[in-house]
């Protein structure tokens, strides 16, 4: 399942725990309805389900979570900080990196 397929499948809905062991796609609930703190049992269940996914589906979920991170305020702030550090000269050119690693 690709990232676009995941988004299309969710279609604005969110995964919602219908019981401690069952998560369902609920079109009536939005992501903002989710509890702000995930319980350890819910986290374990989610990790187990992700572990059972195919490699392709796992990559799609990883891409989706990375996109969520980049869209979050803290993710944008972290990226902004990194870019400011690079603009301040805290960066390494490709040729210097290659010579430092012994590839050039």
Record the pTM.
Answer: 0.44
Question: CA end-to-end span of the chain, whole Å?
Answer: 40
Cα distance between residue 7 and residue 5, in whole Å:
5
pLDDT of residue 56: 92
> Which structural domain range is residue 43 located in?
3-100
Whole-angstrom distance, CA of residue 14 vs CA of residue 12: 7
Residue 69 belongs to what H/E stretch? helix 55-71
Host H or E run for residue 31: none
Task: State which residues of the chain have pLDDT below 70.
Answer: 1-37, 104
Domain tally for the chain? 1
pLDDT at position 79 is 85
């Amino acid at each position: 399942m690709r990232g676009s397929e995941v988004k299309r499948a969710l279609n604005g809905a969110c995964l919602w725990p219908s019981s401690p062991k069952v998560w369902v796609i609920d079109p009536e609930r939005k992501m903002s309805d989710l509890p702000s703190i995930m319980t350890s049992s819910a986290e374990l269940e989610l990790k187990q389900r992700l572990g059972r996914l195919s490699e392709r589906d796992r990559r799609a979920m990883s891409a989706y979570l990375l996109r969520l991170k980049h869209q979050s305020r803290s993710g944008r702030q972290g990226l902004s900080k990194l870019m400011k550090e690079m603009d301040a000269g805290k960066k390494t050119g490709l040729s210097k990196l290659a010579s430092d690693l012994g590839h050039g």
